[in-house]
């Protein structure tokens, strides 16, 4: 069965510092992998996705993620965090049929 | 701007009443929509797949008679929580596939509807 683990429930970083959010997945085939961000009162917004090809994918708002098959990971990174990045981030794995399995989410807090 | 919209964004109701939540795709047709439930500090759990013109497909463990789903048109799906109880209090989110990327898992999400049952 598909599953996604986000080990960190909360992460706090200083503005301007680098960020890495961890995501591990379990899936029997080549997965489609996603990172979504949810700001309070808003719907989830797609940050980036991995389907195939280059394992380092670029997304919106300066985010990137690297797919590592050997580690079953798809960690999200940003070199310099802005206060507006404070939100909840969800990693998800999906397969055919648009069904997504989400991780529990990581709440990012940004210190000024 | 939002391309999937939910209404209401929040609702408080008495135990035993039924509550309807609407999910609309604003500028595209969605033959399929998905309903998720999000518990505090937990992941989104897929409840059911709403199919225009046919019955919804429910995930294992989701009560069909409790959570009625109707996909009335190509732009509207509704979730009705029947005889709501406090344990049904949650955040319900709908989503629809990107029209240019079917069957890839790319979804537009609604803003979510917070249900509180007293």
Q: What percent of chain A has pLDDT over 70?
A: 97
* B28 vs A72, higher pLDDT: A72
pLDDT digits (tens, 9 = 90+) for A43-102: 888 899 998 888 999 999 999 999 999 999 999 999 999 999 999 999 999 866 677 889
B42, A104: Cβ pair inside 8 Å?
yes
Instruction: Give the pLDDT confidence score for residue B105 in this predicted structure.
Output: 65
CB B94 within 8 A of CB B6: yes
Instruction: Give the pLDDT confidence score for residue A68 in this predicted structure.
Output: 94
Please name the residue that has the structure tokens 């069965």: A1
Chain B residues contacting A via beta carbons under 8 Å: 2, 4, 6, 9, 32, 34, 36, 41-46, 49, 93, 95, 97, 102-112
Chains A and B: how many Cβ contacts under 8 Å? 69
Question: Residue B101 pLDDT more than 70?
Answer: no
Question: Residue B95 pLDDT more than 90?
Answer: yes
Which residues in chain B are closer than 8 Å to A9, comparing Cβ atoms?
41
- Band of pLDDT at residue B99, cut at 50, 70 and 90: low
- Band of pLDDT at residue B1, cut at 50, 70 and 90: low
**Closest approach of chain B CAs to the CA of A67, in angstroms?**
17
Average pLDDT in the B78-93 region?
95
Instruction: Give the pLDDT confidence score for residue A17 in this predicted structure.
Output: 98
A43, B112: Cβ pair inside 8 Å?
yes
B93, A44: Cβ pair inside 8 Å?
yes
Which residue does chain B place closest to A93, by CA atoms?
A: B105
B41, A42: Cβ pair inside 8 Å?
no
Instruction: Give the pLDDT confidence score for residue A100 in this predicted structure.
Output: 86
Q: Which of B41, B45, B93, B105 to mutate to test the interface with A (most CBs of A within 10 A)?
A: B105
* Structure tokens given for A45: 């917004």
Q: Positive or negative CA dihedral for B13, B22, B49, A72? A: negative
Residue B100 neighbours by CB under 8 Å, 6+ apart: none
Of B6, B36, B104, the CB nearest to A51: B104
Of B41, B45, B103, the CB nearest to A97: B103
Q: How many CA atoms lie within 13 A of A69 on its CB side?
A: 11
Question: Residue B42 pLDDT more than 80?
Answer: no
Strand B76-81 to strand A100-102: parallel, antiparallel, or no bridges (unpaired)? unpaired
Instruction: Give the pLDDT confidence score for residue B97 in this predicted structure.
Output: 86
Question: Residue B48 pLDDT more than 90?
Answer: yes
Q: What percent of chain A has pLDDT over 90?
A: 72
B109, A36: Cβ pair inside 8 Å?
yes
| Euclidean distance between CA atoms A73 and A101, whole angstroms | 15
Please name the residue that has the structure tokens 């489609």: A32
Please name the residue that has the structure tokens 């996604």: A4
* Mean pLDDT for chain B overall: 90
Instruction: Give the pLDDT confidence score for residue A29 in this predicted structure.
Output: 75
Question: Residue A14 pLDDT more than 70?
Answer: yes
Give buried/exposed letters for B2-13 (b at 16+ CB in 10 A, else e): ebbbbeeeebeb
């Amino acid at each position: 069965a598909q599953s996604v683990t986000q080990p960190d429930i909360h992460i706090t970083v200083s503005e301007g510092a680098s960020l890495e959010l961890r995501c591990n997945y379990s899936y029997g085939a080549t997965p489609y992998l996603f990172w979504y961000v949810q700001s309070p009162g808003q719907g989830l917004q797609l940050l980036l996705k991995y389907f195939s090809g280059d394992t380092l994918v670029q997304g919106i708002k300066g985010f990137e993620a690297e797919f590592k098959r050997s580690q079953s990971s798809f960690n999200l990174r940003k070199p310099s965090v802005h206060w507006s990045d404070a939100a909840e981030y969800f990693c998800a794995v999906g397969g055919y049929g648009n069904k997504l399995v989400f991780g529990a989410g990581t709440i990012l807090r940004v210190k000024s | 701007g939002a391309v999937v919209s939910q209404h209401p964004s929040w609702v408080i109701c008495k135990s035993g009443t039924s509550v309807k939540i609407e999910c609309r795709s604003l500028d595209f047709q969605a033959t399929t929509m998905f309903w998720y439930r999000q518990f505090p500090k937990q992941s989104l759990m897929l409840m059911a797949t709403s199919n225009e013109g046919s019955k919804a497909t429910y995930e294992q463990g989701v009560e069909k008679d409790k959570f009625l789903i109707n996909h009335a048109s190509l732009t509207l799906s509704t979730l009705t929580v029947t005889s709501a109880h406090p344990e049904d209090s949650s955040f319900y989110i709908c989503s629809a596939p990107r029209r240019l990327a079917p069957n890839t898992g790319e979804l537009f999400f609604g803003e979510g509807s917070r249900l509180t049952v007293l």
